[in-house]
Structure formats: C-alpha cells, structure tokens
C-alpha cells in the first residue's frame, strides 16, 4: 500500500464551518434555514428553495409532485446510480436516452426519439461539472408539454451561456454531499421557478422534518478534512468497508429536511463556492494541456456556450488499453450503464437499453481530480501518467 494517494474528489470545508456546524448540533447557536434558502434563491435565480436531507430525496420529491405513480420518465443511460434509487422510490417506469461522449451532454436525436416512444418527464443531469444542453431538451419537450427536471447534483459551478448550472429549468435539484463541489456533509435542495411550485414547496417545508441534528455529517466532514491529505488518504482508501469511490445502490427512504448541522456548514461553503470553482478551473486547464499531448486521450469538451466547473476533468481513452491510477485519483467513470442496474431493470420499458454513446463512456471514460489538494507536484505526476506510452491493444495476445 502506498502512503501517498490523492482523493478522487474533495469538497472544501473550513475549520470555521465545522465549528459552526458543531455549534448548531449542540444547540449553542441557531442555524438559519431561511438565510440558506435566501442565498440559494439568489445564486440560482429561484422563487423558492426547499432544503432536503439528500439530493436524491430532492429529486424524488419533484418526481412525486409532477407525476402520478406508474408514469414514465426519461433518464440518461449513463449517469449516477442514485437515479435508479429515485426511480424505484417514485414508482415510475423508465425509458433511456443516449449521451454524447464528446461532451457528456444529451444526444439530442436520442432525446427526440425517447419523446416519440412516450415519456411524461425528462431528467437532464450534468456530469462532473460539464454542462448538459438543458435548453435544447426543453425546446423539444415543450412541443409535447413534457416537464424537464435539471439534475445539478454535479453542476459544481459550471455555467451555460453565463447561467449557473442548476438555474436553467423550471425545476432543478442540488446536492451537498461530501463529494460535491459545495458540501454541507449531507443535504440537497429543490429549486423551483413558478408560483404554483413555490406554493407547493412552502407547504411541504412544514411537513419535512430532519431525523437528527446532523452530528454524523459534521464529524464525517471533520474526518474528511483531516484524512484527505495525500499522505493520509491511503488509510480510509485501504478499508474496503468504506467503499470509497465505488458505485453503491442505496434503497429509497422517506425524504427528510436538512439537519441544522448541515445548514450551518452550508452557509460557509456557499460563500467560498465561486473561489473554489475558479481554483478547480485553473488546475483543470493545467492538466488539460497534458491530456491534449497524450496520444490516446481525447478531452471531453463543453457544449457551445458552456464552461465546466471541473468537479473532475474528463477524457476518453481512444486506445482502450489505459489503466486507472488510483494513487493519483485517476479513475474510470461509472462502470455500468443504467440498464445494467439490477434494481432498475424491472422498471425499464421493453427493449430499453443504453445507446452506443453511453456504452462508449462506460468503457472509455476516465476522470482526473482538480480539487485544492492537487498541487503542482501532483499535477506533474498526473501529466506523467497521461503521457506514458499506452500498449497498443492490437499487440495484446488474444485469450482463448
């Protein structure tokens, strides 16, 4: 085991934020839910913000509001496994549309086709901070009266035509988990931009209750702050039970409100989110130069008018022979497409399967860390890994 290892993702949190979170948990001061809502509404141009225990809960609440049970939603075929949890919890059926590997944005022809096959709502998810073409999907969906939900759990400060990811659709969701660009240790938000939906979130706010004060989330963040240093991260990374970096299915649970501890932390991390995004972009640009010089690597580009927030820098392995380098935080993307999740298969309409673009991403996408712990020496090591000569797959003996 190497004692020097870079965490794949790291959400910045200050000592002051942790102290504030602990104080709220202990009841030493009051965490202002209304103040957190006001900041989110201003940053994301929303009429209301409903704070929830997770981003998954936020999306599930929206689906149950917009659709009756048994309805059909369109999901990206290549995405986080939490979308499976949401679909199972909402009791909906699922159709899949494809993702363009070059941009991580919806394949618009595939979206047009999934609408033709019949759906009642479409979820558009931003991946790794790269903007998804929400506007084009909305234009297609509007012709058929289909609502579009923007999943900005991984938006991480990215923008599209100057608008922050998470502010593009009538309804959108955010996540403040430990691996997101802005963290509260846990939590999420529903953002709405119509009077009718704002009335709904206002009514729901009084009925959602937290199941704790949030001590576990604050302690977990404190542990992350300590152990995310490269010479210490190997300790949690070596414990299989923690399943760090793995894609794990979590069964649906009843949505709750965000805890007071997480709200107190969030008020601090929201204040530094712009600065942190700028830092990730600067490090991303530095590493991107090495990606472009690698013979077998094609960087994922943002769509026209978009700028990535670089939750992670993404590239495609054109040779098909590159190996991950966990010590550098350089990992493959999601190992399976949504149709390969056993929990989602019963919800899929007949013959629904991932398209060629999503399968290509499953097999060829790599992502690289850009967070604040990636210093110049780490960036140089990542550049060295990128420019290593890859073995031509045609030279690999066939296995009989």
Residue 240 has pLDDT above 90, yes or no: no
Residue 232 has pLDDT above 80, yes or no: no
Q: What confidence score (pLDDT) does residue 392 get?
A: 43
pTM of the model: 0.94
Residue 2 has pLDDT above 80, yes or no: no
Q: Is 320 left (phi over 0), alpha (psi -120 to 50) or beta?
A: left
Q: What is the mean pLDDT of the chain?
A: 92
Q: What confidence score (pLDDT) does residue 230 get?
A: 74
Q: What confidence score (pLDDT) does residue 389 get?
A: 58
Q: What confidence score (pLDDT) does residue 5 get?
A: 81
Distance CA 54, CA 75 (A): 19
Average pLDDT over residues 64-86: 96
Residue 179 within a domain = yes
Helical ranges in the chain per DSSP H: 15-26, 33-43, 55-66, 82-90, 108-117, 134-142, 195-207, 215-227, 234-237, 260-271, 273-293, 356-364, 376-387
Residue 321 has pLDDT above 80, yes or no: yes
Residue pair 41/268 in contact (Cβ under 8 Å)? The answer is no
pLDDT confidence bin for 291, thresholds 50/70/90: very high
- Token output for 216: 């576990």
Distance CA 364, CA 122 (A): 26
How many CB atoms are closer than 10 A to CB 239?
A: 10
Distance CA 139, CA 169 (A): 11
Distance CA 102, CA 85 (A): 27
Q: What confidence score (pLDDT) does residue 242 get?
A: 54
Average pLDDT over residues 209-237: 84
Residue 171 has pLDDT above 50, yes or no: yes
Residue bearing tokens 């820098």: 313
Distance CA 212, CA 36 (A): 18
CA dihedral 210, 81, 127, 321 (to 10 degrees): 150
Sign of CA dihedral 229, 232, 234, 239: negative
Residue 46 within a domain = yes
Residue 30 within a domain = yes
The SS3 call for residue 125 is: strand
pLDDT confidence bin for 225, thresholds 50/70/90: confident
Q: What confidence score (pLDDT) does residue 96 get?
A: 98
CATH assignment at residue 181: 3.40.640.10
Measured in degrees and rounded to the nearest 5, phi and psi for residue 230 equal -55, -35
Digit-coded pLDDT (tens) for 357-389: 999 999 999 999 999 999 888 889 999 999 885
Residue 122 within a domain = yes
Digit-coded pLDDT (tens) for 198-212: 999 999 999 999 989
Residue 3 within a domain = no
Residue 47 within a domain = yes
Distances (CA, A) of 37 to 49, 171, 277: 5, 15, 21
Average pLDDT over residues 89-113: 98
Q: What confidence score (pLDDT) does residue 393 get?
A: 42
What residues contact residue 175 under an 8 Å CB cut-off, 6+ apart?
Answer: 54, 55, 56, 58, 153, 154, 187, 188
User: Which of the two residues, 378 and 79, has the higher pLDDT score?
Assistant: 79
Q: What confidence score (pLDDT) does residue 156 get?
A: 96
Q: Which domain holds residue 87?
A: 15-387
Distance CA 115, CA 118 (A): 5
Residue 195 has pLDDT above 60, yes or no: yes
Burial (CB < 10 A; 0-12, 13-18, 19+), residue 272, is middle
Average pLDDT over residues 257-272: 96
Digit-coded pLDDT (tens) for 7-53: 888 888 999 999 999 999 999 988 899 999 999 999 999 999 999 99
Digit-coded pLDDT (tens) for 118-128: 999 999 999 99
Residue 395 within a domain = no
Q: What confidence score (pLDDT) does residue 227 get?
A: 80
Residue 217 within a domain = yes
Q: What confidence score (pLDDT) does residue 396 get?
A: 33
Q: What confidence score (pLDDT) does residue 1 get?
A: 40
Instruction: Give rounded-to-5 percent helix, strand, coil for the chain.
Output: 40, 20, 40
Residue 399 has pLDDT above 70, yes or no: no
Q: What confidence score (pLDDT) does residue 8 get?
A: 87
Looking at the 3D structure of the chain, how many domains does it have? Answer: 1
Q: What confidence score (pLDDT) does residue 234 get?
A: 67
């Amino acid at each position: 085991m190497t004692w020097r290892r870079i965490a794949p993702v790291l959400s910045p949190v200050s000592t002051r934020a942790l102290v504030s979170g602990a104080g709220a948990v202990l009841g030493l001061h009051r965490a202002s839910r209304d103040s957190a809502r006001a900041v989110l509404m201003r940053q994301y141009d929303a009429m209301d913000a409903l704070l929830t225990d997770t981003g998954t809960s936020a999306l599930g609440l929206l689906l149950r509001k917009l659709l009756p049970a048994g309805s059909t939603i369109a999901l990206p075929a290549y995405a986080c496994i939490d979308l499976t949890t949401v679909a199972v919890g909402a009791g909906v059926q699922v159709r899949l549309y494809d993702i363009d590997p070059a941009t991580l944005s919806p394949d618009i022809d595939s979206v047009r086709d999934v609408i033709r096959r019949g759906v009642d709502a479409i979820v558009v998810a931003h991946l790794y901070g790269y903007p998804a073409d929400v506007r084009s999907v909305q234009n297609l969906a509007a012709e058929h009266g289909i609502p579009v939900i923007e999943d900005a759990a991984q938006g991480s400060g990215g923008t599209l035509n100057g608008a922050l990811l998470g502010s593009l659709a009538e309804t959108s969701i955010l996540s403040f988990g430990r691996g997101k660009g802005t963290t509260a240790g846990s939590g999420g938000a529903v953002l709405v931009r119509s009077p009718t939906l704002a009335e709904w979130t206002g009514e729901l706010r009084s009925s959602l209750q937290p199941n704790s004060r949030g001590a576990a989330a604050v302690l977990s963040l404190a542990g992350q702050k300590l152990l995310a240093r490269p010479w210490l991260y190997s300790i949690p990374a070596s414990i299989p039970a923690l399943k760090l970096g793995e894609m794990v299915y979590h069964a649906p649970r009843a949505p709750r409100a965000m805890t007071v501890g997480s709200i107190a932390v969030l008020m601090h991390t929201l204040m530094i989110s712009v600065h942190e995004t700028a830092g990730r972009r600067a490090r991303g640009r530095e590493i991107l130069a090495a990606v472009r010089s690698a013979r077998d690597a094609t960087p994922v580009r943002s769509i026209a008018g978009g700028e990535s927030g670089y939750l992670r820098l993404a590239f495609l392995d054109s040779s098909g022979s590159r190996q991950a380098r966990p010590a550098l935080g350089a990992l493959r993307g999601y190992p399976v497409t949504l149709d390969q999740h056993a929990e989602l298969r019963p919800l899929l309409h007949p013959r629904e399967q991932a398209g060629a673009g999503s399968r290509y991403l499953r097999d060829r996408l790599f992502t690289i860390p850009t967070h604040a712990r990636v210093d110049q020496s780490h960036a140089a090591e990542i550049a060295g890994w990128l420019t290593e000569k890859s073995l031509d797959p045609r030279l690999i003996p066939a296995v009989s």
